[in-house]
Amino acid sequence: MSISESIVGKKLTDEVEISPNCLKIIQLLEKLHNFTNEIPPDEIQARYGNPAYRDWLEKLETGVEGFLEATLPEQFYPAIQELAPYLLDSFGNWTRIDYGTGHEMAFVMFVCCLFKVGVLTEADKPAVGLILFKTYFDLARHIQQIYRMEPAGSMGVWNLDDYQFVSFILGAAQLSKNVRVKPKSIPDPEISDLLKNDYHLFACLDYIHNVKTGPFHEHSNQLWNISGVQLWTKVYTGLIKMYRAEVLCKFPVIQHTLFGSIFSLEKASLKLEIPGESGGHQRPGLNNVPLAGPCPGILPMGMMPAGGMMPMGAMPRGIMPMGRMPGGNMPGGIMPGVNMPGKIIPMGRMPGSEMPPGGLLPGGLPGAITNKIDVKMTTEPSEVTLPGNAPDKTAVDTPISTPAGENDGVTSTTAVLAETSNN
């Protein structure tokens, strides 16, 4: 992050001071670039993974210690044992013939080790950010193209890029000051071609425009979203947060990382704050989630009132319990009849009078029989009769019994009348 801050407002073509140690490391990367001319790709039909890449990486592996001895001063030779694995892992995987952000991170760790042991100093940061990293990114893209390297762990359109990430952070830092171009120019291939030699970010975009086809918002959705940000400073801080979450905190990436005496697993004593992030990162919780508007009487989910936990069965103020009606403090289950306009009639009763419970007929209705109700059932004769026999007719009058103890004017009686006529 301190390297990116040292190149704010600077172009790749600007004149910077390069120390002898930094220059030798740049020359080492250029030597590895020349190895691709000695080991051309095999002529095979394959979408990914040209086997000639293994020959290139094997040549680097067999001579990496000698390359570093020719590059570093003699007093740093003891560190070669830990520096060599980081450099070897910076250019992809021998077995899978792939390259991804984890390999890019290995080169970042290689550079950090050079700063920690003293090969590079504070004065080398601008040259490292502009020249050294540009040489590495050019070499990485070159071997990706000629050896058809597969993206390692790519998330497709939901990833920032299939191969690189740090180059976008460095490029956003360059553009954070003294530039007229805006983030909305990210999808424009002409702008990328015009500025690819001046900024890391547009060099990456130009590479994407060349190797990918179709609408930009489909094959690079995350970059399309970033183009909607207004300021490059916001893009810069957002990319750092994204790198921390999507690369440094991902187990598939960090599981391959090597640690030793230069980079140890001990917990860092100082925490570096992201520029523009005050007070540290705070996860969204119950206390810092804003509500859309005031909700009188209703508490947000999971929050308790200021006075403590409410007793079981109590409702927040303003919420009516189920079964109660507005207009009065009615007990549950009883319907109001006086505080509402008109009256709400309980189920089973008829309007117009105080009706008795369901099943009883009121005595005040016109035509009601107060003592007994006779129901006459008639059995009609059969249509077929024998000669000399008259049809029988039977009439049964059966009163309906009413429950006893009801003071509604209905008399409880039981009578059965039967009349039979035979001719």
pLDDT on residue 267: 82
This prediction's pTM: 0.65
- Spatial CA neighbour of 83 closest among 286, 281, 203, 262: 262
Q: What does the pLDDT profile of the chain (423 residues) look like in tens digits?
A: 789 999 999 999 999 999 999 999 999 999 999 999 999 999 887 788 899 999 999 999 999 999 999 999 999 999 999 999 999 999 999 999 999 999 999 999 999 999 999 999 999 999 999 999 999 999 999 999 999 999 887 665 567 888 999 999 999 999 999 889 999 999 999 999 999 999 999 999 999 999 888 899 888 889 999 999 999 999 999 999 999 988 888 888 888 888 889 988 888 777 766 655 554 444 333 343 333 334 444 444 444 444 445 555 555 554 555 555 555 454 444 444 444 444 455 555 555 555 555 544 445 444 444 444 444 444 444 444 444 444 454 444 444 444 444 444 444 434 434 444 444
The backbone torsions φ and ψ at residue 378, rounded to the nearest 5 degrees and listed phi first, read -115, 130
Closest Cα to residue 105, out of 254, 245, 218?
A: 254
What's the chain's length in residues? 423
Q: What does the pLDDT read at residue 422?
A: 46
Distances (CA, A) of 55 to 36, 37, 84, 250: 10, 12, 18, 30
* Cα of 22 vs its chain's centroid, Å: 42
Give the rounded distance of the alpha carbon of 327 from its chain centre.
Answer: 46
Phi/psi at 381 (nearest 5 deg)?
A: -70, 160
Tokens coding 286:
């119950």
DSSP, residue by residue, 381-405 = PPS---TT-PPP-EEEEEEPP--TT
First to last CA, the chain: 122
b/e burial code for range 90-110 (CB count within 10 A of at least 16 → b) = bbbbeeebbbbbbbbbbbbbb
What is the reported pLDDT for 401?
Answer: 46
